[in-house]
């Protein structure tokens, strides 16, 4: 049962950090008005690219690694998404 701690903690971090990232990005975009400025357009492009990369990596792991240990398998699949969300939260809260 101890093997499930990592995936649960990953899900908790994603669940807590994702709304923070969404709120910070939304606030920045709204604060600059319409149309978005160059910095906000870069952030929007980065957002799309990061999500595509993280979910592609998660999908690749899910398809290519046999799930001999299911808890570890789930943790490995969640890892790219968790890294991306964590990195965004850290970066955006520093700005």
pLDDT in the model for residue 1: 47
The C-alpha atoms of residue 30 and residue 38 are separated, in whole angstroms, by 14
pLDDT in the model for residue 35: 85
- pLDDT per position in the chain (95 positions), as tens? 468 898 999 999 999 999 999 998 888 888 887 888 888 888 889 989 999 999 999 999 999 988 888 899 999 999 999 999 999 999 988 86
Token pair 């990592």 is found at 6
55 contact partners, CB below 8 Å, separation of at least 6: 80, 81
pLDDT in the model for residue 32: 82
Find the length of the chain: 95
Nearest of 77, 70, 69, 89 to residue 15 by alpha carbon: 89
């Amino acid at each position: 049962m101890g093997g499930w701690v990592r995936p649960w903690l990953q899900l908790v971090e994603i669940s807590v950090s994702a709304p923070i990232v969404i709120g910070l990005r939304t606030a920045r975009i709204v604060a600059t008005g319409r149309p978005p400025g160059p910095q906000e357009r870069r952030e929007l492009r980065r957002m799309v690219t990061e999500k595509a990369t993280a979910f592609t990596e998660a999908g690749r792991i899910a398809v290519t690694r046999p799930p001999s240990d299911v808890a570890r398998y789930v943790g490995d699949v969640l890892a790219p998404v968790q890294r991306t969300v964590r990195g965004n939260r850290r970066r955006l809260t520093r700005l």
